[in-house]
Amino acid sequence: MIYCLKEYLSFDMEWLGFFVLNFYVLGFGISAMILGNKSNNVFYMIYGLFLVCALLWMRYFDMDLAFWFKGLLFMGVGLMFFLIHYLSADEFES
């Protein structure tokens, strides 16, 4: 009876580790970009962009999604780079 319950209740928790780690890295990268923008530190902003893009790059090849969706994801990363540059260009000109 106990063995039957153990087989019924056991499931793979590996996805939870991936989920927590991905959101931790994403949150750390976004906070690095925000703090770099507030403190006018370009290198800290680029570090945050690198973290987010490295995470997206790893997930880009790991996911089994349609090719058009991966293309939209790639364009979204490019748009993110453009917006960060556009919004912070005035602050870093001097």
Asked if the structure places residue 44 within a domain, the reply is: yes
What is the CB neighbour count within 10 angstroms for residue 72? 11
Q: What confidence score (pLDDT) does residue 24 get?
A: 92
Per DSSP, 90 falls in state T
Asked if the structure places residue 11 within a domain, the reply is: no
Amino acid 63 reads M
Rg over alpha carbons for the chain, rounded to the nearest Å, is: 19
Q: What confidence score (pLDDT) does residue 7 get?
A: 62
Whose tokens are 């991905």? That residue is: 22
Asked if the structure places residue 66 within a domain, the reply is: yes
Task: Name the domain count of the chain.
Answer: 1
pLDDT in tens, the chain (94 residues): 555 555 666 666 777 788 888 889 989 988 998 898 888 888 888 898 889 888 888 877 777 778 888 888 888 878 888 887 787 777 666 5
Asked if the structure places residue 1 within a domain, the reply is: no
H-run or E-run covering 6: helix 2-9
Q: Which domain holds residue 63?
A: 21-88
